[in-house]
Each structure stands twice: as structure tokens, then as C-alpha cells.
Chain A
């Protein structure tokens, strides 16, 4: 999901204008989506947001006789900590005893749809941003109903009562626990309006609160989607097309069928091409049988992509003006600036795989008139519909369980639900049997849906004051939204994710022109944690630091001077970062250098300073100081964790083997020995995170850690080596 989907300067959901569309997705799915618009002025189709729903507390909170308070979490937990943070929010307003809270990942149901997007999903760093108010109200309503029940029991006014965690206290010291009142409370009317706490009254919100899922994730007891098991369940793997869209012309499975434990081998259609499904008692059996298949693939109609050829094409496109994504000031101003005062920079960014730690999987049981599915899904609504459609059912006939997921980074938010469709094709054939589809790591690495390749060409005219006087920027890269339901967010053919982070830059750039080319390439692409900001922040922040250096200005002061006056979050983050990093920056060891970056995405402002040296010809990040303005931090401990680990994740871009490449239509990498994400020695040794104190509405923290780290490290490296790093990954430094 994209920052552009939620770019809004007023930070208030109510005042945003929404785009509503019922759109037909790949395969004829009808999806009803709401998005807050990139810019409210555009077009006349802006409508009100999703219908305001009076969420019934009983769909979210259950108070059990033993005092346990079970809270439904309306979105996937895959590391971001929402399964702790949303219950904190609800429990706070409810005045529930935190030790009694048990979170549950909600099934796919209308009531659990994201209040802003209108589908059940995680994306756009919206978990807390979109559900904060909703969960507060739910908690307050639950508390109000418990108070009404007590008031009725004791025959007193509700206003004579108060609460302590999980207890209602009445006149004369009367006490009743929430568990005792639970049954009576459900009979009370749901109040339409409730008073919410003042921030000074918060018990849990804003307090560093350990995750609720830690112990179970440390003792092996937690069950991820891949761990799902049922008596009689079978396991499937699929021989996928070696090139995107290739079809099976014929196959010989005689050898494969000789593997003991194989149940079924059959051809299935896929959203792109076709494949052969192998169903067996166990995974190893299925995989061995798959290895023994002889498949004749028809690739005649397939565009066979090649990274080298794509770069040549992209470079050439970047030399021409594309669709105008932003035009400010006088475009010809650049040409009037002497060439000695111009910078021309070209950047390359490769395809990147998400490779979530838990390989993709989906389990489905189809019983003719109903089905049941177990999926670690970022897009429950879409995935449920896709399964239903494949099986010839209605969505509500598919009981859809949200499973704990081992990471995602965008890979479990696929508009065409191709993994679920594949699993449903298999389940359809094995009616009455539960089948778990497993994608091997090789399937995942070679399976497409990458962060697109991007090429940037930037020409900057530097003014006599050393500040940019003209800026022309061309971005070349595939659209993620085109051909998906999200295409409705495109305006004049422009996918807003391509140049997000440039077009909405908080720097005050005069004579600023951004245009984009969106070539069609036979490689499926997808949002990768922080989406367009992955590459745009890199370009902007390495260039800004280069400009500062050129004019011999302090890079922090330079940024401060260039920021728009109303860039409130970035200014605050920059000031805080400067103060908190001052001590170590003043005594950098020999051979170390500091690099900076500053970037706002998903309404969260982030500033970072990194301490880098070169060890074994690779960048070593000894420390990073990060300052964050994310509004009110619901769980500061989670925010800190997201920024610490997100910094490591962001360095994926710089890894020597951090690229997906194609040759003659084939993906060249297969597994973690060829596509290598950061390991412990590649990640920052220490990251100190500082949160700007704020009572503004909370904004996202899942994606904003990612964009800043790579440019900051590249900036430090440039100081150490005198080179510019404009081509990623960093194969050599």
C-alpha cells in the first residue's frame, strides 16, 4: 500500500475526501473500495468516506466468566505489533485489566473491515492510524454498558459509578467485576456517543508495553499459517511456470507418481499461465514428486525479459519527458542555468523480493456448498472473495480464518490473490479434504511480485546561494496499480506510487518538474514495504546531501533551510535527531563517517544519522540515531522496535546480492544464497530511537523506518570513499 493513498495534510480522517468505487478486479471480482484521495481538489468524484458504522462492541470484545477479556483484532499480525497495540487502545478506554486481555485475529467479516479503506486489510501503515479512534470508542462503549448494568443492579445512577481495571465501583464501596456484569451488560443498549479519556487519563496508551505474543513466539508454541494441521490434511506444491505466464503444453508424471505417498497430480490454471499441482500426504513427498515431473512449457507467446535490456530501455526512456506528475514554476529555468552549475544524476534500482520469513501458504477445505480457509492474509476481503469465486461460492460461504503470519512486507497484500486462487483450484479437485498449499522458498524468490525496477534521471540547477533553483526529475518504472482494483487511484494514467516521495517532497523546490514513464514489462510487481519511498527517498536524500556538500554547508542546516515552513513533522524530527546524535557525532572514530537522511512517508516524519565505517569492503553501521514524529505513539516500545528492525530491513537495498535479475525471461536467483537479505553482521549494531512528544492522531510506523536508512548509509560511504552510489544494490563500494 502506498503513502499516496493516505497523503493528507490535515491528518484528520473526517475531513478527508474519499473516493469510492465498486471495481472489477482480475477475474471479475467485484470489490468495493474507499480511499482517501491524494488530493482533494482533483476531480469531482470525491465522495464521503465509508459509511459511519456504529460498531457493536460484542463483535470485538468478549468478557469470559473467568475474567479473561478476548479482543478481536481486525487485521493481520505479522510482526508490526498490532495484536498488542489495538487491544491496548480498547482496554484503556474500557478500563480492562491488561493482564486479562487475550487478543484474537478476527475472521474475515464485514464488521472487521478497515474503517478507512473499506476492505479488511493491512497496508499503508494504517493499522493504528485507521483503527485508533474505532478501538477507543469500542472500549468506551463497552465500559459504558458495564456501568449501565451495574447501575441497574444497584439501582443507582451510572454517574455515581467509577471503574478500576475490570471492576465497577459503586456508592459505599460496592464492587462488581466485569466478569460478573458481563451477561447483564450485553443486554444494555449500545450508546451512540461516549466520552473518551483525556490523554492524561490513559493507563496503557502511550506506555511502553511488551508484546503479548512474545512468549509463544519464543517457545515454539505459536502456530503460523504454515503450521496449521488437521487429521487427514494433505499437502500440495505446484510446479509453477519458469517464465511469467508460461503454460503447460504437456507433462509426464509417470516418475513422479512412483513416489510413495503421492495422492494426485493434475494440471491447474493460474492467474498467469498454468501449472501442475502435486498433492501428497506430506510436504517432502510432494516436493520430491514435483522434482520428478517432466513438463513441456509453452513459452512462445511470452515476453522474455532481461535485466540488461530493461536497463537500456529504461535509460533511454529517462532521457525523454514522461507523463507529468508535477509541474511547478518554470520548466525552462533549468536550461538557463550554466552547465557548470548543474548536476545530472542517474540512478538504478533493481527488482526486490519481499521474501517474508514464513513462506507463502494457504490451507483450504471445500465441501461443495461451503469452504473453510486458513490464511495469513493482509487482504482478507479480497482473498476470501477470490477463494469463493474459484470455488463457485459466495464470499460468506467461505469461513476465512486469519492466521498469524511470519512477515509480509507487502507480499501478503496481492490484489489478484494468486496464492489463494491456486490453493482453491487444488481444493476444488480434492473436495472434502483439507489441503495445505506450500510455496517453497524457490517458488517465492522466483515467483514475481517484486518491488519494480526503477531508473531515475535528475537534473538540478544550483542557484548562487547553493540551493536548488530548478529540478527536473524523470522516473521510469512499472505501475503497481495498473490492471488491479487500485487502478482507480490513478489519475491521468499516473500511478501515484511511482513518484511518491518526490511529488510530495517537503522540500521547497522551485521550478520543479516530475514526469514518469510506466513501461509494461512481463514481471508481476507489488508494493514492498514503504512502496515508492524505497527508491525516491534514496534519490532525494543522496542528492540533498550532495548539494549540501557542494555548497559546503552542514547537511542538517541545509535541509532545515530547504524544508517548507509548514513541514512540522520533519522539522521536529530533524531537531530531535540533531540533538540526540550530537554527542557521538562529535567524537567519531577515525575511519568512520556520518550520513543523514530525512523523509516523511505515511504521514510520519523521520530523521536519521548513521555512524558508518568500511569493514571487509562492506558498510558497517555501528550505530544509528532515529527521530520520529508519528503523532501519539500508541505503544512507544513497538514504535522503537519497528524503527530499530526496520532500519535493518531497509538495508536490504544495499546488500551485495540484494537484487532480483532476469536473463532470457528466467529469474536468476533461487534462494537465500543468491538473493541475500541482511544478516546480523549486515544490520546496524545499535539503533537509538527518539519519539517527538505529540498528541496528534497516531500515524504509521510499519513502513516509515525503511526509506531513510539506505540513503543515510550511502551518504556516509560517499564521505569515506569520495564516490557516489547511484546504482543499487551496492555490489562494490
Chain B
């Protein structure tokens, strides 16, 4: 066990954890922030997507000891994020979710995409969202919601 200082959603946090613990489990179990989900643990599904220094990152394979002082942003901060709020509203308006379990990760990927590329093409959407599995396969509406958010972000 070792102590680590993190910046999560703008707040300083200290946790005591095994250095190999992935950020995902630190968020979920030490910080009780369960919006970020476990789906595979091997960077294959995107359910655990967070932003590390603004970059969409799979938190399930990122050991806490390798994080350094890079700031972390999670789904819990999206309601107060300019792009995040627009994306969430688009998701609700398009009635995207089914079981909803993948959607934190989907939204984190969409926000990262739209921050970088406010007017993405269909191909760019497929590429940026391509690592986020939705087992319910709500992809038709995910596409529509990303497009809607993109229009709103003009």
C-alpha cells in the first residue's frame, strides 16, 4: 500500500492503495465514484473511459502509480462541463440508453471527440466511438446523439 495524490474533477484526493491498482477501482472503491464502470478490465470495451489530462483513457488498465499529477475527469463532472452537458442532453433527447451500463463510457468518448473535433464525420464518429462496446447495441441512437450534440455546439 502507498499513498497517492489525485486530482479528480478538480478536487484533490488522497488514497491509500496498492500501486498496481487500476485507476478504475480507485475511483469506484476508494473514492466511491461508481459512474465509471467495469466491463472487461482489458481495455476492450470502453465502459471505464475517463479523461486523463483531457484525453479519453481506459481507466481499467492504468495503474494508479503511473498516473503522476495528471488531472482526471469522470462522468460525474460532465453535467458541469460545457460540452459534457450538451452531450448528456443530446443523449436524453435521443432516448439513447437501454440498460445504460456502457453509457458513461460512451459519453466520455463522445465528449473527448467533440472537444477535439466539433464537427466529426461519420467515419470520425466510428473511429472515436469504435472502442466503446454497447452490448445492447444502441449504436443507431448513439450516432444520432453525437450528431445532435455536434450541431448544438456550433
* Interface residue ranges, A against B (CB under 8 Å): 78-81, 210-211, 213-224, 226-227, 229, 235, 260-261, 282-285, 288, 355-359, 404-409, 440-441, 637, 641, 644-649, 651, 671-673, 677-681, 683-687
Contacts and interface: CB of A to CB of B under 8 A. Distances in A.
Contacts of B132: 679-680
A679 B140 contact: no
A641 to B, nearest CB: 6
Nearest to A646: B137
A519 B137 CA distance: 33
Contacts of B34: 220, 223, 226-227, 229
Given A211-B95, A214-B91, A641 B138 contact: yes
Q: Lowest 6 CB-CB distances: which A-B pairs, in order?
A: A220-B35, A648-B137, A406-B101, A217-B100, A79-B99, A79-B98
10 contacts: A210-B95, A219-B88, A220-B36, A226-B37, A283-B38, A357-B39, A407-B98, A641-B138, A680-B139, A685-B122
A493 B94 CA distance: 47
B40 A441 contact: yes
Contact of A282 (B29, B40, B95, B141): B29
B137 A357 contact: no
A21 B103 CA distance: 41
Given A219-B75, A220-B76, A637-B95, A679 B130 contact: yes
A217 B134 CA distance: 13
B119 interface: no
B42 interface: yes
A233 to B, nearest CB: 10
A680 B134 CA distance: 8
Interface residues of B, number: 61
A357 B75 contact: no
Nearest to B91: A218
Nearest to B46: A679
A260 B75 contact: no
Contacts of B95: 210-211, 214, 637, 641
B99 A684 contact: no
Contact of A359 (B39, B75, B125): B39
Interface string B1-30: 100000000000000011011100100111
Contact of B103 (A218, A223, A408, A645): A218
Contact of B18 (A226, A260, A406, A685): A260
Given A218-B107, A229-B34, A680-B126, A357 B91 contact: no
B131 interface: yes
A357 B29 contact: no
A227 B27 CA distance: 12
B114 interface: no
Nearest to B87: A218
Contacts of A221: 35, 76
A644 B96 CA distance: 11
A215 B92 contact: yes
B88 A357 contact: no
B138 A213 contact: no
A358 B137 contact: no
Interface string B110-154: 000000000000100110011111111111111100000000000
Most buried by A among B22, B35, B137: B137
Contacts of B45: 357, 441, 672
A681 B140 CA distance: 10
B37 A671 contact: no
A357 B133 contact: yes
Contacts of B102: 357, 406
A641 B141 contact: yes
A395 B139 CA distance: 41
Nearest to B144: A686
Given A671-B40, A671-B44, A356 B141 contact: no
B140 A79 contact: no
Main SS at interface, chain A: loop
Contacts of A357: 37, 39, 45, 47, 99, 101-102, 133-136
Given A80-B98, A226-B38, 8 more contacts: A217-B97, A218-B88, A284-B22, A645-B134, A649-B137, A672-B44, A673-B42, A681-B130
B138 A645 contact: yes
Given A79-B100, A218-B97, A260-B18, A644 B136 contact: no
Nearest to A649: B137
B71 to A, nearest CB: 18
A678 B137 contact: yes
B36 to A, nearest CB: 7
A647 B133 contact: no
Interface of B: 1, 17-18, 20-22, 25, 28-30, 32-42, 44-45, 47, 74-76, 78-79, 88, 91-92, 95-104, 107, 122, 125-126, 129-143
Contacts of A79: 97-100, 136
A227 B79 CA distance: 20
A681 B95 CA distance: 20
A646 B140 CA distance: 11
Contacts of A440: 41
A111 to B, nearest CB: 26
B114 to A, nearest CB: 15
A215 B36 CA distance: 15
Given A214-B91, A217-B97, A224-B101, A644 B18 contact: no
Nearest to B107: A218
Contacts of B99: 78-79, 356-358, 405-408
Contacts of A358: 37, 39, 99, 101
B133 A213 contact: no
B29 A644 contact: no
A275 to B, nearest CB: 19
Contacts of A359: 38-39
A680 B100 contact: no
Contact of A441 (B39, B78, B131): B39
Nearest to A688: B140
Contacts of A356: 99, 101, 135
A213 B104 contact: no
A679 B131 contact: yes
A673 B46 CA distance: 12
A285 B130 contact: no
Given A211-B97, A214-B95, A673 B44 contact: yes
A703 to B, nearest CB: 13
Contacts of A260: 1, 18
A641 B130 contact: no
Most buried by A among B38, B102, B125, B139: B139
Contacts of B20: 284, 288
A440 B39 CA distance: 8
A407 B47 CA distance: 13
B29 to A, nearest CB: 5
A646 B134 CA distance: 11
A645 B42 contact: no
A648 B101 contact: no
B25 A219 contact: no
Nearest to A215: B92
Contacts of A288: 18, 20
A362 to B, nearest CB: 15
A650 to B, nearest CB: 8
A220 B75 contact: yes
A677 B28 CA distance: 26
A520 to B, nearest CB: 30
Most buried by B among A214, A218, A235: A218
Most buried by B among A235, A645, A677: A645
Most buried by A among B17, B74, B95, B142: B95
A683 B139 contact: yes
B18 A641 contact: no
